[in-house]
Structure 1
Amino acid sequence: MSETSGAVLDGAIPPQLNNRLFGHEQAEEFLARFYKSGRSHHAILIEGPEGIGKATLAFRFANHVLSHPNPEEAPDHLADPDLDSMVSRQIASGASHNLLHLARPVDEKTGKTKTAITVDEVRRAGHFFSQTSGTGNWRIVIIDPADDLNRNAANAILKILEEPPKRSLFLVLSHAPGKLLPTIRSRCLPLKLDPLSTEDLTHALGHLRIELDGGQTALNVLASAGGSVSQALKLLNYGGTEIVSAFDDILAAEGPSARRAMHRLADVLSGKDNDVIFGFFLDHISTHLMRRARDAALAGDLRQADRVSRLVSEVRERISISQGYNLDRKQTILSLLEDIAR
């Protein structure tokens, strides 16, 4: 159920292989009934925080459509996919001629995932439709997530959405739909998913064979995960709990001890192959700052709320510049920590 820009976290099940979904029964019922009605929209924007099951739902619905190509004969609910069926096996192996999964590609030179979905990836969709135009089958494209489309890729997708091929279905995933081109959003039917409840998150982790013991650590993970399976996995399997604790210690420290703590945390986060936990840290500080801004506003301190809100925007901009120009990660982290601590 965990998705993170096309990459699969340690301990997670790839969404195309996952036969269980937790906490989104109403969304499943809506999709099944809407499809059965024969009035299904050609593009559905599945939006919500990262790691709550958007990609799993998309593949689940795609499996449903391809297994029941005649809407009138389709069930009025989404059943757990039969992983031994021909449709499921083709989807799982990436061999389905009727489903295209667009995500950030891997750079052949570095072996690392690129920072964006490029226009070359979107051109695959054009080829996909041309290759399958005479089959009469449904043709489904999952964009995972659309937030990662660069400008050229977004414009290329928009052109296809403006004149969609017959019997085509676009499942557009987004963690932050406000960042998408308004013209893309306007051509999609929005379907918002909420973070998982504590009960559903516990069941989802149990499906991944992660049994929480009910102790304080488990309670802290559930509280910090924000209803996201991917956040829970980062806390449990990537040292996220220790990162949160180190960050809290920095905020509580002063003088030289605070500076030493900043360097220790920056050394960990800037280590080789620590992209996942670095991304987790960036998400955490963004959430921390937004919470501070909200608390200040509720307390009537609008000046402080405005200052922190501006810092949120500055932090995001500096992170974007740092990643875009491949700047020294440790110095970026130290600079962010110093500003937040102040």
Structure 2
Amino acid sequence: MSEEGKLTPRNSANLLGHFEAEKTLLESYNSGRMHHAWLITGPRGIGKATLAYRFARFLLKHGQSGGADEVDSLFGDALPTVEPDSLTIDPDDPVFRRISASAHADLMTIEREFDEKKNRFKGVIGVDRVRGVGAFLGKTSAEGGWRVVIIDAADEMNRNSANAVLKVLEEPPAQAVLLLLAHNPGRLLPTIRSRCRTLTLNTLDDDTLVKLMADHAPDSSPEEALGLSKLAEGSFGRTLSLYEEGGLDLYNELTRLLSTLPQLDVEALHKLGDKMSRAGADEAFRTLGDLLCWWLGRLISQGARGKTSGLGLNESDDALMLRISQNADVNKLMDVWSKAGSLFDQAISGNLDRKQAVLNSFLALEGALKR
């Protein structure tokens, strides 16, 4: 369970920017012939899990009027005759509170397991995490309504766990719903994708992200929120994470160092490396790696498409990218982008010193600019 008071998809009452997706789910429910499995896709942090929990609350609240004796062998026949016009459930509702407290008997959530020894989440969802899904969905509902399983994220399942879920999808129980979230649906088995109805969420626009930041990070200024939203490229989760990690200040430090190219300020580079190697700087180091790769990706995009504006946060960023792109081959920049990502990953996994990862990444970029 998350820390008390912290915003999580499980306890978020509101969802902005995905009206059409909510409308699709609601219309499907009201039709009386709702699909047994939904594949909710889109980039990380745009609201997939928030939508899934929102729909789960709705089903577990409104589905109680459909008893088991009203259901036949086809999925989704027991639906209320009064059609709800919104997925919204009051935060004070008992169903909302129980789901928020991970205490609803008819909801199962599957996520990656946290490795206490390594102090991080495991890389995949193993078969032990999904083994009970079939049995859970096969039981009679504890509250006389629906049973719901949320898998976050389905594209993180290994092959054994994916096959276990596939078996459930092949013979779906009545009045049960699987909500599979996927950041990269192409990683899923084609047979899983074919048995789900896909619901694709779009990235959020800057105005929506600024509104969300005003609600969930009221200490942030509109200008800061706008800058962070551009770095996050439409992901609220990413925007909030960058805010909590001082992402805008870190980005400004990054671009100040990059502005010294083609001859890096070695003293400033070492200071940045020392800062990232300190105890407690794990998340800042991860954020720096993400920002560097984001910046390099935009730089490569400029070189490939000849774009000269709108790639950075402001005109100064655009000018820096233009200057550097004019002095580097796109293929060399792609090599640097790949190398930097690998170096930061190695350091995060503990196989490389963090300062060395910083030094080597920036020096690789410097080397790519020398003729």
TM-score scaled by structure 1? 0.82
Determine the structure 2 residue equivalent to 1:299.
306
Q: 5+ residue gaps in structure 1?
A: 1-5
Determine the structure 1 residue equivalent to 2:56.
62
Provide the C-alpha distance between the structure 2 equivalents of 1:29 and 1:175, rounded to a whole number of angstroms.
21
Determine the structure 2 residue equivalent to 1:73.
81
Residues 260/7 of structure 1: CA separation in 2 closer, same or farther (3 Å cut): farther
Determine the structure 2 residue equivalent to 1:3.
none
Provide the C-alpha distance between the structure 2 equivalents of 1:192 and 1:23, rounded to a whole number of angstroms.
13
Larger radius of gyration: 2
Contact 1:12 1:208 in 2 (8 A): no
User: Cα deviation per residue 1:188-211 (whole Å; 9 max; x = unaligned)?
Assistant: 222121222222112212221515
Query: Are positions 1:47 and 2:48 aligned together?
Result: no
Contact 2:296 2:337 in 1 (8 A): yes
> Which residue identity is paired with 1:33?
E
Determine the structure 1 residue equivalent to 2:359.
334
Contact 1:43 1:171 in 2 (8 A): yes
1:19 corresponds to which of 13, 31, 54 = 13
Residues 227/169 of structure 1: CA separation in 2 closer, same or farther (3 Å cut): same
Determine the structure 1 residue equivalent to 2:25.
31
> Which residue identity is paired with 2:8?
P
1:156 corresponds to which of 164, 179, 183 = 164
Provide the C-alpha distance between the structure 2 equivalents of 1:275 and 1:86, rounded to a whole number of angstroms.
38
User: Cα deviation per residue 1:244-288 (whole Å; 9 max; x = unaligned)?
Assistant: 122212322248853333333333334444443333333323322
Contact 1:42 1:169 in 2 (8 A): yes
Provide the C-alpha distance between the structure 1 equivalents of 2:125 and 2:2, rounded to a whole number of angstroms.
13
- Stretch of structure 1 that moved more, 232-241 or 279-288: 279-288
Query: Are positions 1:252 and 2:246 aligned together?
Result: no
3-state SS of paired residue (2:40): strand
User: Cα deviation per residue 1:163-213 (whole Å; 9 max; x = unaligned)?
Assistant: 333322121222233333444333322212122222211221222151554
Q: CA deviation at 1:99?
A: 0.9
Write the mapping of 1:273-312 to structure 2, written as runs, cut at 5 A: 273-299=280-306, 304-309=329-334, 311-312=336-337
Contact 1:231 1:280 in 2 (8 A): no
User: Cα deviation per residue 1:72-92 (whole Å; 9 max; x = unaligned)?
Assistant: 436453343212222112211
Provide the C-alpha distance between the structure 1 equivalents of 2:277 and 2:194, rounded to a whole number of angstroms.
39
Q: 5+ residue gaps in structure 2?
A: 64-77, 308-324
> Which residue identity is paired with 1:223?
K
3-state SS of paired residue (2:121): coil
Percent of residue pairs bearing the same amino acid type: 37
- Stretch of structure 1 that moved more, 153-162 or 185-194: 153-162
Query: Are positions 1:229 and 2:236 aligned together?
Result: yes
Residues 181/319 of structure 1: CA separation in 2 closer, same or farther (3 Å cut): farther
Provide the C-alpha distance between the structure 2 equivalents of 1:281 and 1:242, rounded to a whole number of angstroms.
11
Provide the C-alpha distance between the structure 2 equivalents of 1:316 and 1:152, rounded to a whole number of angstroms.
29
Residues 210/113 of structure 1: CA separation in 2 closer, same or farther (3 Å cut): same
Provide the C-alpha distance between the structure 1 equivalents of 2:5 and 2:330, rounded to a whole number of angstroms.
38
Provide the C-alpha distance between the structure 2 equivalents of 1:296 and 1:11, rounded to a whole number of angstroms.
45
